[in-house]
Amino acid sequence: MKNTFGNNISLTIFGESHGTGIGAVLDGVAPGIAVDEAFIASQLDLRRPVGAISTPRTEQDKFVIESGVFAGYTTGTPICILIPNENTKSKDYGEIKYKMRPGHADFTAFAKYHGFADYRGGGHFSGRITAALTAAGAILISALRDKGIFIGSHIARCAGTDDKGFDNLSTDIDLLNKKAFAVLDDGAAEKMQSAILAAKRQGDSVGGILETAVTGMPAGVGEPWFDTIEGMLSHALFSIPAIKGVEFGAGFAISDLHGSESNDEFYYENDKVCTKTNNNGGINGGITNGMPIIFRCAVKPTPTICRMQNTVDIKLHENTELAAGGRHDPCIVHRARVVVDSVTALVLCDMLCGSFGTDWLVK
């Protein structure tokens, strides 16, 4: 029963959706890294619900850094961040104690924890826990920026509508990190949000695809077999609720190309080795090649919907039906993007410190 990720820099998350609070412990971070609490708050704002296209449950996310930071800088000791839960309505979940919600972790949690898990709002499996990931990730995103490494994600597809692709990565990443609904085409944003609201009116939900770009990563980071950059990123990204697929560079489409098309040819530019294309997403042999890391995450439709669905009652051992109550998102794609950025920062910091030492992140 493990809730920790990372070798050189590790993150442990704790708490439940309707418990007193949630939090994270970030360990292995070098002393002397600036911690901007205003930036942490702004990152949490990007994860917060956005109007009618999100859940009515709104938390203030007033985080408290209990340890590991002094006078605005990391001390080198474990950083503990606590975020109280305030806007809970646990009575909304009384009916699902024994009725397993389709698409959720209710049944698997019951099987693993023998009925002792906190089922309210999904408990420890809830997307609410990603607030703690986001708060901790903000510290690491800032550290990477100080080293010239930038991360940004956009909603590449949602409810059947596509956003335009990355063009100028530096400009695009800066733009996206300021948007609550992270798209590059405002027209696509309107269509996506209309489709989300239409699904909500029908008591249903929608999913989408997030595309992430990382610039400034040096070549040579990663291991050739079990700890590849793709492997470690995928490991962490699949821990985010609702992520059901991850692909890098051209992804599955690369299988339809010839080698002459898929190979990224090398050339020198200002004495730096670059590639003419980036079908491999900035990674060769599990190791960064210095080009931008590009990957996409498939986000499934929110499993909690108001429509009647078939399920089972594990107390009575019988088939039954359930229409989920409570408060839920008709789409979580726009809220998940900052979580993807945060998890990406965690993995990259961990692997960079493995390659260059933990003090490498100090400005």
pLDDT digits (tens, 9 = 90+) for 339-358: 999 999 999 999 999 999 99
pLDDT at 93: 63
pLDDT at 189: 96
pLDDT at 262: 96
pLDDT at 49: 79
Give me the residue spans of the domains in the chain: 4-361
For residue 258, how far is the Cα from the chain centroid? 33
Class of domain 4-361: alpha beta
The tokens describing 353, both together, are 């410190």
More confident residue, 177 or 86: 177
Question: What is the distance between the alpha carbons of residues 15 and 291, in angstroms, rounded to a whole number?
Answer: 38
Calculate mean pLDDT across residues 290-310. 94
Residue of 42, 104, 29 lying closest to 70 (CA atoms): 29
Sequence-separated (6 or more) residues with CB below 8 Å from residue 185:
163, 164
Sequence-separated (6 or more) residues with CB below 8 Å from residue 362:
30, 31, 32, 33
Q: How much is the mean pLDDT over the chain?
A: 93
Question: What is the distance between the alpha carbons of residues 46 and 336, in angstroms, rounded to a whole number?
Answer: 9
Q: Please give the share of the chain, as a percent, with pLDDT higher than 70.
A: 95
Q: What digits encode the pLDDT tens for the residues 6-35?
A: 999 999 999 998 888 999 999 999 999 999
Question: Is it the case that residue 308 has pLDDT exceeding 60?
Answer: yes
pLDDT at 94: 65
Predicted confidence band of residue 61 (pLDDT cuts 50, 70, 90): confident
More confident residue, 274 or 329: 274
pLDDT at 123: 80
Sequence-separated (6 or more) residues with CB below 8 Å from residue 25:
11, 12, 14, 78, 79, 80, 81
Q: Please give the share of the chain, as a percent, with pLDDT higher than 90.
A: 80
Helices (H), the chain: 37-47, 106-113, 130-146, 169-176, 186-201, 229-237, 259-262, 333-356
pLDDT at 8: 96
Question: Is it the case that residue 91 has pLDDT exceeding 90?
Answer: no
Distances (CA, A) of 346 to 9, 23, 94, 105, 219: 8, 16, 36, 25, 18
Question: Is it the case that residue 40 has pLDDT exceeding 80?
Answer: yes
Calculate mean pLDDT across residues 163-187. 96
More confident residue, 288 or 49: 288
pLDDT at 1: 67
Q: What digits encode the pLDDT tens for the residues 117-171?
A: 888 878 888 888 999 999 999 999 999 999 999 999 999 999 999 999 999 999 9
pLDDT at 184: 97
Predicted confidence band of residue 296 (pLDDT cuts 50, 70, 90): very high
pLDDT at 329: 85
Predicted confidence band of residue 92 (pLDDT cuts 50, 70, 90): low
Q: How many CA atoms lie within 13 A of 16 on its CB side?
A: 14
Q: What digits encode the pLDDT tens for the residues 207-236?
A: 999 999 999 999 999 999 999 999 999 999
